[in-house]
Amino acid sequence: MAQVTLRRIIKEYEGGVQAVKGIDLDIADHEFVVLVGPSGCGKSTTLRMIAGLEEISAGDIAIGGALVNDIPPRDRDIAMVFQNYALYPHMTVYDNMAFGLMLRKFPKAEIDRRVKEAARILDIGMLLDRKPKALSGGQRQRVAMGRAIVRDPKVFLFDEPLSNLDAKLRVQMRTEIKKVHQTVKTTTIYVTHDQVEAMTLADRVVVMNHGVIEQVGPPQELYHNPATRFVAGFIGSPAMNFIPCRLEQGGAGLQVELPGGVALPVPAERKARYTAHQGRELLFGIRPEHLTEVRPNDHRDNMAVFEAVPEVVEPMGMETLAHFRVDGAEICARLDPATPAAPGRKLPLAADMAKMHLIDPKSDKVL
């Protein structure tokens, strides 16, 4: 049993600056939760408060049902993996992993069994006699994870563990972390600024911004039903397009009127949701993957077709990105690579209006 509960957690630094502004979070046993957000959003501070490395200014933290507000890190039964690995440079890999167990006076045979087992899981058995300086970045990261695994703690805490690795290794270690979690199933809290890491690893993603939680939910939920403009723009790559618009009653029902005279019909099933906002200035949000080339014999429902003139065309191989402007707003569309798109040439585009979002610019909430 190792659920983690945060209640109205506040972190205030000297001078009254609030890094974390009263957040609530419930993390279930065995769950993999990722805190994600831009730098300075309070995600690392939150993690460090759970670890006990930072004092909390107000609120309660419970691990496994026990209040840990005033309990030192060593008695919280947690293990942490740091961004820069924080391996003890004078110890061998074996001793690095065994250190925590030796301090807790585990019997030698038990330490040996656990270290060997962790080394097997992480595939670092042949490195046990080496010092950290003789390891590559990825190997050091594995050892840092091994140090956490051998402790068999209630909770794993990861503080941007992949940020120091190169792109290729990062993808590889990401899979590795997921594999380890599937094996040991320990409750995990993982901090990153990379939304791809968050999406791929998490059971649930916690999006933070300016010290508050914007939204909590499974990755797909955040992707399809973002609660705020920030989440809509943060999750997904390339980011969602936002275009200022007006919601008006047209001949065939509600329609989104974009600057430049383009009017896109709102799907009938959204009518009830949006009617109250008729006549207002709103933000129209649509992901690049829902803005595609017009396909011949395309009979999908809710497709709205309009013309645009791309400024830049980026062939990516599996797809082509076309960038154009609507009244100053930069818009990106994802096209099939076979589409004959060229900068400066008119291109008919199809918007999948079933995937559209409308955002209230006053509250930044998705309607």
Partner 1 sequence: MSATAARPSAALPGLGRKIGSLRRERRWALVTAYISLVIAAIFMLGPPLYMLLTSLKTSAEIADLSRSPWSISTVTLSNYAAILGDPMFRGFFYNSIIVTVLVVAITMVISVLAAFALARMRFFGSQVLATGVFLTYLVPDTLLFIPLYQIVGGLGLLNSIWGLVLVYPTLTVPFCTWIMIGYFASIPKELDEAALIDGAGWMQMLTKIFIPVALPGIIAATIFAFTVSWAAFVYPTAFITQPDSMPLTIGVVSQLIRGDTFAWGQLMAGALLAALPPVIVYAFLMDYYIAGLTAGATKG
User: Nearest approach, Cβ of 140 to partner 1 (angstroms)?
Assistant: 8
Binds partner 1 by CB under 8 A, chosen from 71, 86, 227, 321: 86
User: Nearest approach, Cβ of 362 to partner 1 (angstroms)?
Assistant: 40
* Nearest Cα to Cα of residue 81 among 44, 115, 121, 106: 44
Residues 6+ apart with CB under 8 A from 10: 18, 20, 21, 22, 56, 57, 58, 59
User: Nearest approach, Cβ of 114 to partner 1 (angstroms)?
Assistant: 14
* 132, amino acid identity: P
Which residues, in sequence order, are bridge partners of residue 334? 321
Binds partner 1 by CB under 8 A, chosen from 38, 58, 60, 104: 104
- For partner 1 (CB under 8 A), the number of binding residues is 32
Contact 301, 351 (CB under 8 A): no
DSSP string, 136-148: -HHHHHHHHHHHH
Q: Hey, what are 32's tokens?
A: 């993999």
Asked if 47 is part of the footprint of partner 1 (rule: CB under 8 A), the reply reads: no
Q: Is the peptide bond before 310 cis (omega within 30 degrees of 0)?
A: no
User: Nearest approach, Cβ of 167 to partner 1 (angstroms)?
Assistant: 16
The whole-angstrom separation of Cα 84 and Cα 115 is 21
**Binding map of partner 1 across residues 180-209, x = CB under 8 A, - = no contact:** ------------------------------
Nearer to partner 1, 188 or 255 (CB): 188
**Residue ranges in 120-139 that form contacts with partner 1 under rule CB under 8 A:** 131-135, 137
Nearer to partner 1, 68 or 326 (CB): 68
Residue in the structure block whose two tokens are 């010092």: 131
- Main-chain phi, psi angles of 184, to 5 degrees: -95, -20
The whole-angstrom separation of Cα 189 and Cα 94 is 25
**Residue ranges in 206-265 that form contacts with partner 1 under rule CB under 8 A:** none
**Residue ranges in 52-81 that form contacts with partner 1 under rule CB under 8 A:** 52-53, 72-74, 78-80
Binds partner 1 by CB under 8 A, chosen from 59, 64, 100, 267: 100
Q: How far is CA 332 from CA 120, 162, 298, 329, 343, in A?
A: 46, 29, 21, 10, 13
Asked if 272 is part of the footprint of partner 1 (rule: CB under 8 A), the reply reads: no
The whole-angstrom separation of Cα 238 and Cα 144 is 32
**Binding map of partner 1 across residues 150-169, x = CB under 8 A, - = no contact:** -x------------x-----
User: Nearest approach, Cβ of 105 to partner 1 (angstroms)?
Assistant: 10
User: Nearest approach, Cβ of 21 to partner 1 (angstroms)?
Assistant: 24
User: Nearest approach, Cβ of 135 to partner 1 (angstroms)?
Assistant: 7
The whole-angstrom separation of Cα 360 and Cα 352 is 20
**Site residues, partner 1 (CB under 8 A):** 51-53, 72-74, 78-80, 82-90, 99-100, 103-104, 131-135, 137, 140, 147, 151, 164
